[in-house]
Amino acid sequence: MTISLTITRPDDWHLHLRDGAMLKAVLPETARHFGRAIIMPNLVPPVVTGAQAAAYKDRILAALPEGMRFDPLMVLYLTEDTDPADVAAAHASGLVTSVKLYPAGATTNSASGVQNFDKVRPVLEKMAEIGMPLCVHGEVTNHEVDIFDREAVFIDRVLDPIRKATPGLRVVMEHITTKDGVDYVKSNPKDLGATITTHHLIINRNHILVGGIKPHYYCLPVAKREEHRLALRAAATSGDARFFLGTDSAPHVDAAKESGCGCAGCFTATNTMALLAHVFEEEGALDTLEGFASKNGPAFYRLPENDGTITLTKQETAVAFPEKIESGDGPVTVFDPGYPVFWTVT
């Protein structure tokens, strides 16, 4: 039986597009289905100032194929030297949508992130005043904290104190991976939302490690135990407007992933909407997919919903997604859920 579902054109509230040849290769994979995306600023060097964000936005729009429509929502990378006035001006002009907080050393290209949170207090206070959202990579980086506990510890030691010290600051907990993250959002009804990735709804830590190490399932925050994956699925499909899609699609060429020290990141832009339809159908929750992918994000960011729609169709035979896309710098492996998927997007 063919089932089909038409939803408002979705947005991706956490996306890595990179730059140069990689940008050109991966941008159409997102722009094909998504109206907008929050563009992560962790380039080398990072996108720190309004001027750098404007230049990066121009490069993204220049890389967009003829006839495709896509609106990149730019983000500034918060450093201990970020100037509150530059942030406020970039936001007021409409150029920049949010600021990203990376604890120094938490993930790929985060060396310029924040070490001393007191140093960024003036920026956070300015953001609270103007209602500008802060996107947070929620993991501590202390060596004594186990990598599987870093999100839960971050909530207690860093996030909750920052939020208490900065009333009115609007925070997006990015790519939550734990029941602790879900519970923290649910118990704090004001000024807090969370993105959930496609791959964290599909894999747990066994997928990375059982039967041989699977570098294409390694991302940060790392996938956790099954109980956490189930909590994320329950949150994403619940209809609760505080949870929305941020794929964290993070392309790295195969040579960088399949290595003695492989990079973190799953590339899901190509098949995300099909995979989400599969997951939401499994949960008996196809009716909440539009909220998660197309409505809850704009509501949090106080932006209009996209014009237009996409249609998801379940076909009789499994869909053959490309195994890899060519980036110019080498092949990038598309996330493989490990089971057949019957949904396509038209």
| Residues labelled catalytic | 248
Between 264 and 319, CB nearer to ligand NCD:
264
In the sheet that holds 309-314, the strands lie side by side as 3-8, 309-314, 343-345
Q: In the beta sheet, which residues pair with residue 309? A: 8
Contacts of 89 (CB under 8 A, 6+ apart): 50
User: Does 245 participate in binding ligand NCD (rule CB under 6 A)?
Assistant: no
265 lines the binding site for ligand NCD (CB under 6 A):
yes
C-beta of 166 vs 197, nearer to ligand NCD:
197
The distance of closest approach from Cβ of residue 268 to ligand NCD in the complex, given in angstroms and rounded to an integer, is 10
7 vs 39 by CB, closer to ligand NCD: 39
**Residue 17 CB, nearest distance to ligand NCD (Å)?**
10
For ligand NCD, the closer CB: 49 or 195 = 195
By CB under 6 A, the residues from 115 to 174 that bind ligand NCD are 137
Specify the residue for token string 């619940």: 238
Q: Looking at 219, 273, 286, 332, which residue binds ligand NCD (CB under 6 A)?
A: 219
* Subset of 231-270 contacting Zn ion (CB under 5 A): 248
For 134, the token pair is 């802060």
Both tokens of 166, joined, read 């900065």
- Is position 42 an interface residue for ligand NCD (rule: CB under 6 A)? yes
Q: Rule CB under 6 A: say whether 310 interacts with ligand NCD.
A: no
Distance of closest approach, residue 197 Cβ to ligand NCD, in angstroms: 8
Closest distance to ligand NCD from the beta carbon of 176 (Å): 12
Between 240 and 248, name the residue whose CB sits nearer to ligand NCD: 248
CB 195 → ligand NCD: shortest distance, Å?
Answer: 11
- Is 264 near ligand NCD (CB under 6 A)? yes
Q: How far is the CB of 309 from Zn ion (least distance, A)?
A: 27
- The DSSP 8-state label assigned to residue 334 in this structure reads P
d(CA 313, CA 52): 40
Q: At what angle do helices 50-63 and 20-31 cross, to 10 degrees?
A: 70
- Least distance to ligand NCD from the beta carbon of 152, Å? 17
The answer to whether residue 113 forms part of the interface with ligand NCD (CB under 6 A) is no
Q: Which does 199 bind (CB under 5 to 8 A by kind): Zn ion, ligand NCD, none?
A: none
Between 57 and 137, whose beta carbon lies closer to ligand NCD? 137
Among 220, 273, 274, 289, which residue sits at the site for ligand NCD (rule: CB under 6 A)? 220
Beta pairing partners, 72: 37
Question: Which residue from 92, 94, 113, 89 is spatially nearest to 41, judged by alpha carbons?
Answer: 113
Quick check: 268 binds ligand NCD (CB under 6 A)?
no
Conformation bin of residue 146: beta by default, left when phi > 0, alpha when psi is -120 to 50: beta
73 vs 341 by CB, closer to Zn ion? 73
Rounded CA gap, 98 and 15, in Å? 13
**Main-chain phi, psi angles of 274, to 5 degrees:** -65, -40
Cβ proximity of 173 and 138 under 8 Å: yes
Binding flags for Zn ion, 61-100, as an x/- string (CB under 5 A): ----------------------------------------
Size (the chain), residues: 346
| Lateral strand order in the sheet of 134-136 | 11-15, 36-39, 71-77, 96-101, 134-136, 171-173, 192-196, 243-245
CA atoms lying within 13 Å on the CB side of residue 2:
6
Question: Tokens 């980086």 label which residue?
Answer: 141
Site of interaction with ligand NCD (CB under 6 A): 16, 42, 107-108, 137, 219-220, 248, 250, 264-265
Chain residues that interact with Zn ion, rule: CB under 5 A: 248
